[in-house]
């Protein structure tokens, strides 16, 4: 066999080996208990996608099989249950921070990795509950630093313990019309009486019935409506801005969070977005709620009222930090 033929033969063998390796890896991913990965490409813009190992806060990082969408934001966003009363470390600081993490891989593996790394860096606690209903998995839990609640003392009869806390919720699966693939992590500077304060009260790992694989949807581009179901067709993504992520507890009835990066004139874009939001069919009036200087971030807050009973209220935070401005739009359904 000549040198040329030998090189071709070796190249083909390497290509076949690479193909076999890829197929075996794909088979391994699809054989887990979680139903495999979501279908479709992760829609987070490349310059806002922070992969596994990227820092979050307080020693934690993005878990394997997941992607942080945008920055870790100051505030308490997308909580199906509100955070318990917490205090900021110093007056004027943010009492909590929120990370919106899109689940690319197997959801139980992502959750287990997050809890394991938290315990490795000194947190206690774990996964409080995990349910799988009609193709949708929902888990929640809490982690804490500081002492555990004494055995035999219920949360209702205990005073809040010292130390910070991390609250997390996983929403994954659902029908094609209501997909979810999100791990929400909230960092709080003080603790309340949490379910996982007591030793061995919560699980360190989970395995649930295979949920439906959600399908990622493409994010709206400039000129496209932000979300017709909540704001009508008139609230569009404006030139000079870029959609980062749309996260939801439940796309039909739950709280919705939209993060938009303002690349152009942030002041002019803020005014334009606020005008469109207050003119939306289900909205009525705009109120400025004041500003906060958090050091790294400067926050200006607004609220748009509901036009009729049953319409959502819209909270808006304009956060500027590290030379970049984000608008966080939160549609809160009527209670």
Per residue in 178-205, pLDDT (tens digit) is 557 888 888 877 666 666 777 677 888 8
The predicted-structure confidence for 210-242, as pLDDT tens digits, reads as follows 666 777 778 899 999 999 888 999 999 999 999
Does 282 lie in the same domain as 155? no
Domain boundary among 170, 188, 206: 188
- On whether both 239 and 176 belong to a single domain, the answer is no
More confident: 161 or 310: 310
**d(Cα 261, Cα 237) in Å, to the nearest integer?**
10
CA-to-CA distance for 311 and 313, rounded, in angstroms?
A: 7
- What pLDDT is attached to residue 83? 54
Helices (H), 211-301: 228-231, 266-278
* Within a domain: 202: no
Instruction: Give pLDDT tens digits for 20-77.
Output: 232 222 222 333 333 455 656 678 899 999 999 999 988 899 999 999 999 998 877 7
pTM over 0.85: no
Per-residue pLDDT at 218: 83
Say if 194 falls within a structural domain. Answer: no
Give the residue-averaged pLDDT of 295-319. Answer: 91
Range of the domain at 324: 228-332
User: Per the structure block, which two tokens stand in for 194?
Assistant: 């949490």
pLDDT at residue 15 is higher than 50:
no
Same domain, 75 and 139: yes
Last residue of one domain, picked from the residues 136, 157, 188: 188
Residues 178 and 232 in one domain: no
Q: pLDDT tens digits, residue range 238-285?
A: 999 999 998 876 555 577 889 999 999 999 999 999 999 999 999 999
Residue 34 located in a structural domain? no
DSSP assignment string, 22-38: HHHHHHHHHTSTT--PP
Q: Report the C-alpha gap between 228 and 208 in whole angstroms.
A: 34
Same domain, 149 and 88: yes
How many structural domains is the chain composed of? Answer: 2
What was the pLDDT predicted at 268? 97
Q: Does any domain span residue 213?
A: no
One domain for residues 163 and 235: no
Mean pLDDT of the chain: 77
Do 53 and 151 belong together in one domain? Answer: yes
> Is 287:294 a contact under the CB 8 Å cutoff?
no
Q: Name the E strands within 147-214.
A: 165-173, 180-188
Q: Are the C-beta atoms of residues 241 and 269 closer than 8 Å to each other?
A: yes
Whether 169 maps to a domain, the answer reads yes
Residue 26 domain-assigned (yes or no): no
Residue 102 lies in a domain: yes
Name the least confident of 86-95, 125-134, 256-265: 86-95
Rounded alpha-carbon distances, angstroms, from residue 20 to 10, 17, 32: 15, 5, 19
Q: Does residue 299 sit in the same domain as residue 175?
A: no
Residue 79 has pLDDT above 80, yes or no: no
Q: Residue 2 domain-assigned?
A: no
Residues 178, 236 share a domain: no
Of 131, 165, 188, the position where a domain reaches its end is 188
Query: DSSP for 296-310?
Result: S-EEEEEEEEESSTT
Shared-domain flag, residues 158 and 243: no
Q: What is the structure's pLDDT at 255?
A: 79
Q: Are residues 179 and 74 in the same domain?
A: yes
Whether residues 233 and 316 share a domain: the answer is yes
User: What percentage of the chain has pLDDT greater than the value 70?
Assistant: 70
């Amino acid at each position: 066999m000549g040198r040329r033929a030998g090189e071709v033969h070796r190249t083909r063998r390497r290509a076949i080996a690479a193909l076999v390796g890829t197929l075996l890896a794909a088979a391994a991913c699809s054989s887990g208990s979680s139903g495999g990965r979501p279908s479709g490409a992760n829609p987070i813009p490349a310059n806002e996608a922070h992969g596994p190992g990227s820092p979050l806060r307080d020693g934690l990082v993005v878990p394997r099989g997941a992607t942080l969408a945008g920055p870790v934001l100051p505030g308490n966003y997308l909580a199906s249950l509100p955070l318990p009363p917490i205090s900021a470390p110093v007056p004027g600081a943010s009492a909590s921070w929120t990370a919106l993490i899109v689940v690319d891989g197997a959801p139980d593996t992502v959750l287990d990795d997050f809890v394991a790394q938290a315990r490795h860096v000194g947190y206690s606690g774990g996964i409080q509950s995990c349910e799988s209903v009609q193709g949708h998995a929902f888990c929640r839990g809490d982690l804490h630093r500081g002492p555990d609640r004494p055995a035999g003392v219920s949360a209702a009869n205990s005073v809040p313990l010292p130390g910070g806390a991390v609250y997390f919720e996983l929403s994954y699966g659902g029908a094609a019309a209501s997909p979810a693939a999100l791990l929400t992590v909230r960092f709080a500077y003080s603790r309340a009486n949490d379910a996982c304060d007591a030793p061995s009260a919560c699980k360190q790992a989970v395995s649930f019935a295979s949920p439906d694989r959600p399908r990622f949807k493409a994010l709206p581009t400039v000129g496209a409506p932000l979300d017709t179901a909540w704001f009508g067709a008139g609230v569009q993504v404006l030139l000079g801005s870029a959609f980062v992520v749309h996260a939801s507890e439940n796309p039909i009835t739950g709280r919705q969070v939209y993060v938009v990066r303002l690349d152009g004139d942030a002041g002019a874009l803020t005014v334009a977005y606020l005008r469109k939001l207050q003119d939306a069919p289900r909205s009525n009036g705009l109120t400025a709620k004041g500003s906060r200087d958090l050091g790294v971030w400067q926050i200006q807050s607004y609220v748009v009222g509901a036009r009729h009973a049953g319409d959502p209220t819209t909270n808006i935070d304009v956060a500027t930090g590290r030379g970049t401005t984000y608008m966080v739009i939160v549609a809160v359904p009527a209670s």
